[in-house]
Structure 1
Amino acid sequence: MKTMTSNVDRLNALLGKLALVSTLLLTSCAVDTESNHQTTTDKVETFNSINGKPNLIVIVADQMRRSSMEFWQQPEFQGALNTNSDPVITPNLNALADNGVVFTDAIANFPLCSPYRGMLLSGLFPHKNGVTNNTRVGRPEVGLKPDIPTLTSVLRDNGYNTALIGKGHWHNNLPMFDGNNRFVGTTTAPGGHYFQGTRYDTYIPPGKARQGIEYWYQSLGHNHKNPVVYTNDTELSGVEEGTPFHPKRYSAVDQANVIIDYIGNTRAQRDNNKPFAILWTMDPPHSPYNNISDTDERIFNTMYREIPLGLLLNRPNASIERAKAAAAIHFSMITLIDREIGRVLTTLEERNLLNNTLIVFTADHGEMMGSHGKMAKNVYYEESIGIPLILYFPDKLIPQQDDLLIGVPDIKPTVLGLLGLEHQVPTDLDGTNYAPYWQNSSNIDNEPERPKSSLYYGTGDAYGVRTHEYLYVVNSDGNLDALFNNVEDPYQLSPLTLKDIPPEDVTTLQDELGQWLTRINHPWALARKHSQMISYPEE
């Protein structure tokens, strides 16, 4: 669906004028001018495991919607989305998309930070994995169950070096710090303090809660230019583990530096004879995004400052007034993280590792950015639940676009399948291994059935399904919370009632929701709640 054509044409013309500038700023990404950190190109070696297992980097942006990638504007992707794409500049994501599997309908089933991370690691929905809301002060019961086999623990047990660089945000928030944010592991003096800096995250100490992750570099808070970091790389930090330090550089830049060093194994951070698996969970483009100091000033001034608000917020459901202070800064942060991804890709290429590394790019949830008058996430609208997802695995995957209704619990089994560890996928997962769909193989006997819907798992006990045509949500009172036709109304401006759609479509939506809740053993299904709105399978 094409809307606001004149604005889109004007935007494309403006972006064209910025193309040369973006190339100059973003392609020379081997050098970090902020930290004077330079990629080492001498003594380039191939750090693969002896048996040739592939490496893995999972990159998770924080609060970035599916439409916020530049390649949607390229001819080969025209029409893949039925809405306007955002005016962002992302040359490195473009390169991944051109040579990877791009998902047009990937869904953040529970579009909130901690529940996403719980599902990503466990392959299970929140009522099973323990992360039923954001972890924070006042919710000591919310946290990822430590004994669940997770993506990272399975990889460690199968011979991988494992690393976290970035956010954790899946652990119970408990007052086990002293007054200086040093973790002491007790609620009695000198403990008894919560982590100071954010109520929504906490340090994850060594042990089962780290989910099999060996190299630890955890960034906390959303002070992008001065994050708090806890690490077991004491040579890097200069402080003992459990004591915070401040890298004093932009979080995404700092994390890219750490990843580049980890790949190069500059301080013997890992075993060269094993493949590596890196979970890179970025802080941006999450808020704060209301001040130029929240982003890279050069990117903002050169690429986004001059774009009119009407072109930045080029969706008919967007409130320009609501998002006017944030839009350009938020989009410039996406360009910033794209630049840092480019630095890591350059390192992989220089070290002859790129062709043997599976790269997953995604986000924990979307960003409303003024649509329907809302900001941030945790609502059922497409701007919130629609996330980017790209799989890049040269010579292993057939580049293509796929409208698979893939959800977050599917990522763990699919990644394990792509790495050749399909036999290590636990049988009790809620997610599905979809790896056979895109591999260079003519054998389709083992391809799983394509889902007709993806489950929406909302805060406040609301559940629904998102199909290719509809969004259908039932609230805790058993009433219709949302019904939209995403084909005829892609910006979800015209709420529907059940009487507005064909009876057979009502039946399909209610059947799909009932099948999902039954399959995952959800309490609603066990109690057969709201059966007037949900059709549970016969017992």
Structure 2
Amino acid sequence: MTERPFNLVFVFADQWRAQATGYAGDPNAATPNLDAFAALSLSFTNAVSGCPVCSPYRASLMTGVYPNRHRMMVNDQCLHRLYKGPFLADCLREAGYRTAYIGKWHLDGNGRNAFVPPDRRLGFDWWKGFECSHDYQSSFYYFGDDPKPHRWAGYDADAQTDEACRFLREETGPTPFALFLSWGPPHDPFDTAPASFAARFDPRTIRLPPNVPEAAADRARREMAGYYAHGSALDAAFGRLLDTLSATGRERDTIVVFTSDHGDMLGSQGHFRKQRPWAESVRVPFLVRHPEGAGPGVDPSPIDAPDLMPTLLALCGAPIPAGLHGRDFSGTIRAGAPSGIEDTLLALYLPFHQWRYDNGGREYRGLHTRRYSYVRSLAGPWLLYDNGNDPWQQRNLVDVPAHAARVAELDARLAARLREVGDDFADGREILRREQYPLTPAGDIAILPSHRS
């Protein structure tokens, strides 16, 4: 056993769905470094982003609770104002860790280009980050306490990874560290990947999943080509990060996690982007390499963003605060112990931005189990898929008489889980009334203007 707590490197992309890797069987993906990493890691094959949109996921990662409690149910709000903690990085600091954050934050809500002051970084004491940008070839960051913006050189995910590698070489010592690296891609726009990677993917050769209807096929191929180009560029960056861990000897005492904040429909079911309850939006990669863990393999336990705070704290030997919604999976990662966990919640609390009431968006709650996905809207049961027999979710069983008992059983389990976490499944307009989120004149969630120093 190591004489000190393990270090942690936590890498997460934006909008990278679980299906889009070579190790997951995607014929379009070129991800050799992730594939090799997966072969040495524990892969949670039912990992989800239970509220599949940026800020709610990130807030649940940092708090260990569902959005109905931390109140970041939409993007572009200030978590520090909405919720008083405890926060993941604060807990790691109290346990003796040096905490570092590089890349996209999207938890401050005071303008996407604005400086995030140290008291709103939720316990991260080393900082080279920014609120939110998807201008990958020309984006800015803030370093430490300096409110002056600085420009990332070139493709920002490359520059961010280079900085993470420099941090590992030059900024680490006897004190255990927790380094979070947050990439903006493969989130759209899809035409901004480095040219050398973009050239590898021709829309005409993209192989579509069987659940992309013909009406969405042309757009899906165009977008997928750019999406996979971003993913391949990130894969190369991840490989450099792993090489640096090896060269510095840190791989022997560092837990490495790779995941994403949500997926992208990319034409499946005729939909694009996130927030939707289908697998391409909800399911995310989740790989953990532990130097003294149970070893490589797969685990079917459903794991979600609120579970990450208690799991990471336990893996780092830090106390887990009372009252979290999340479940601790550290025993599964360290020793291969069965988690016993059979389901996790799905939710969209309020349709907004890319999926609004006026373009088909709706509130929903659901359960993702080891085999089934069940979702209800305010109108009643909406979706039931047997993912074991129908992985592309092409047959909705919710109104099939032979599955009525399954619907009733899952609906009762869902109701019990919602009571457990204090979620009253309110109409989104009621949530707007309660929370008073700033709105645009058209009634959508506002993105506040930025004021750079």
TM-score (norm 2): 0.85
Deviates most, 244-253 or 337-346: 244-253
Task: Name the SS for the 1:523 alignment partner.
Answer: coil
Aligned residue pairs, count: 410
Q: Tell me, yes or no, if structure 1 residue 123 matches structure 2 residue 64.
A: yes
Match of 1:113 in 2: 54
Match of 1:39 in 2: none
How far does the alpha carbon of each residue in 1:280-315 deviate from its partner, in whole angstroms, 9 at most, with x for none? 1101101111x2xx01111222x323x63452x233
Match of 1:245 in 2: 150
Unaligned runs of 5+ residues in structure 2 are 351-362, 427-453
Deviation at 1:146, TM superposition (A): 5.2
Match of 2:142 among 217, 230, 239: 230
Structure 1 residues 122 and 392, CA gap change in structure 2 (3 angstroms) = same
Match of 2:121 in 1: 210
Structure 1 residues 89 and 244, CA gap change in structure 2 (3 angstroms) = same
Q: Tell me, yes or no, if structure 1 residue 468 matches structure 2 residue 364.
A: no
How far does the alpha carbon of each residue in 1:175-197 deviate from its partner, in whole angstroms, 9 at most, with x for none? xxxxxxxxxxxxxxxxxxxx4xx
Q: Distance in 2 between matches of 1:370 and 1:416?
A: 37
Q: Distance in 1 between matches of 2:79 and 2:328?
A: 27
Task: Name the SS for the 1:280 alignment partner.
Answer: strand
Task: Name the SS for the 1:403 alignment partner.
Answer: strand
The question of whether the paired residues in 2 share the 8 Å contact of 1:203 and 1:218 is answered with: no
Match of 2:326 among 431, 448, 451: 431
Deviation at 1:503, TM superposition (A): 3.7
Deviation at 1:383, TM superposition (A): 0.3
* Counterpart mapping for 1:402-413 below 5 A: 402-413=299-310
Q: Tell me, yes or no, if structure 1 residue 59 matches structure 2 residue 41.
A: no
Q: Distance in 1 between matches of 2:402 and 2:81?
A: 40
How far does the alpha carbon of each residue in 1:20-44 deviate from its partner, in whole angstroms, 9 at most, with x for none? xxxxxxxxxxxxxxxxxxxxxxxxx
The question of whether the paired residues in 2 share the 8 Å contact of 1:165 and 1:218 is answered with: yes
Q: Which amino acid aligns with 1:433?
A: D
Q: Distance in 2 between matches of 1:128 and 1:456?
A: 15
Q: Distance in 1 between matches of 2:104 and 2:270?
A: 28
Deviates most, 280-289 or 464-473: 464-473
Q: Which amino acid aligns with 2:330?
A: A
Structure 1 residues 503 and 496, CA gap change in structure 2 (3 angstroms) = closer
Q: Distance in 2 between matches of 1:522 and 1:368?
A: 26
Deviation at 1:141, TM superposition (A): 6.8
Task: Name the SS for the 1:283 alignment partner.
Answer: strand
The question of whether the paired residues in 1 share the 8 Å contact of 2:102 and 2:127 is answered with: yes
The question of whether the paired residues in 1 share the 8 Å contact of 2:259 and 2:287 is answered with: yes
Q: Distance in 1 between matches of 2:390 and 2:381?
A: 18
Q: Which amino acid aligns with 1:454?
A: T
Q: Distance in 1 between matches of 2:83 and 2:400?
A: 46
Match of 1:296 among 191, 194, 206: 194
Q: Distance in 2 between matches of 1:72 and 1:464?
A: 24
* Counterpart mapping for 1:358-397 below 5 A: 358-397=255-294
Q: Distance in 1 between matches of 2:412 and 2:19?
A: 30
Q: Distance in 2 between matches of 1:524 and 1:384?
A: 21
Match of 1:452 in 2: 342
Match of 1:258 in 2: 163
Match of 2:242 in 1: 345
Task: Name the SS for the 1:438 alignment partner.
Answer: helix
Q: Which amino acid aligns with 2:306?
A: P
Deviation at 1:420, TM superposition (A): 2.4
Deviation at 1:464, TM superposition (A): 1.1
The question of whether the paired residues in 1 share the 8 Å contact of 2:78 and 2:108 is answered with: no
Q: Which amino acid aligns with 1:122?
A: T
The question of whether the paired residues in 2 share the 8 Å contact of 1:132 and 1:142 is answered with: no
Structure 1 residues 378 and 143, CA gap change in structure 2 (3 angstroms) = farther
Task: Name the SS for the 1:223 alignment partner.
Answer: coil
Q: Tell me, yes or no, if structure 1 residue 168 matches structure 2 residue 105.
A: yes
Match of 1:308 in 2: 204
The question of whether the paired residues in 2 share the 8 Å contact of 1:105 and 1:404 is answered with: yes
Matched-pair identity in %? 27
Deviation at 1:459, TM superposition (A): 3.5
Deviation at 1:101, TM superposition (A): 0.1
Q: Which amino acid aligns with 2:102?
A: I
Q: Distance in 1 between matches of 2:233 and 2:275?
A: 24
Task: Name the SS for the 1:52 alignment partner.
Answer: coil
Structure 1 residues 144 and 489, CA gap change in structure 2 (3 angstroms) = farther
How far does the alpha carbon of each residue in 1:332-355 deviate from its partner, in whole angstroms, 9 at most, with x for none? 111111111111111111111112
Q: Tell me, yes or no, if structure 1 residue 511 matches structure 2 residue 447.
A: no
Deviation at 1:430, TM superposition (A): 0.5
Q: Which amino acid aligns with 1:250?
A: Y
Match of 2:88 in 1: 151
Deviation at 1:143, TM superposition (A): 6.0
The question of whether the paired residues in 2 share the 8 Å contact of 1:130 and 1:144 is answered with: no
Task: Name the SS for the 2:222 alignment partner.
Answer: coil
Q: Tell me, yes or no, if structure 1 residue 69 matches structure 2 residue 21.
A: yes
Deviation at 1:231, TM superposition (A): 1.4
Match of 2:175 in 1: 274
Deviation at 1:496, TM superposition (A): 3.1
Q: Which amino acid aligns with 1:59?
A: V
Structure 1 segments of 4+ aligned residues over 4 angstroms from their partners:
140-144
Structure (1 or 2) with the greater strand fraction: 2
Q: What is the Cα-based RMSD across aligned positions, in Å? A: 2.2
Q: Which amino acid aligns with 2:323?
A: D
Structure 1 residues 204 and 249, CA gap change in structure 2 (3 angstroms) = same
* Counterpart mapping for 1:182-221 below 5 A: 195=111, 198=112, 202-207=114-119, 209-219=120-130, 220-221=132-133
Deviation at 1:474, TM superposition (A): 1.8
TM-score (norm 1): 0.72
The question of whether the paired residues in 2 share the 8 Å contact of 1:61 and 1:363 is answered with: yes
The question of whether the paired residues in 1 share the 8 Å contact of 2:28 and 2:206 is answered with: no
Deviation at 1:228, TM superposition (A): 1.4
The question of whether the paired residues in 1 share the 8 Å contact of 2:13 and 2:260 is answered with: yes
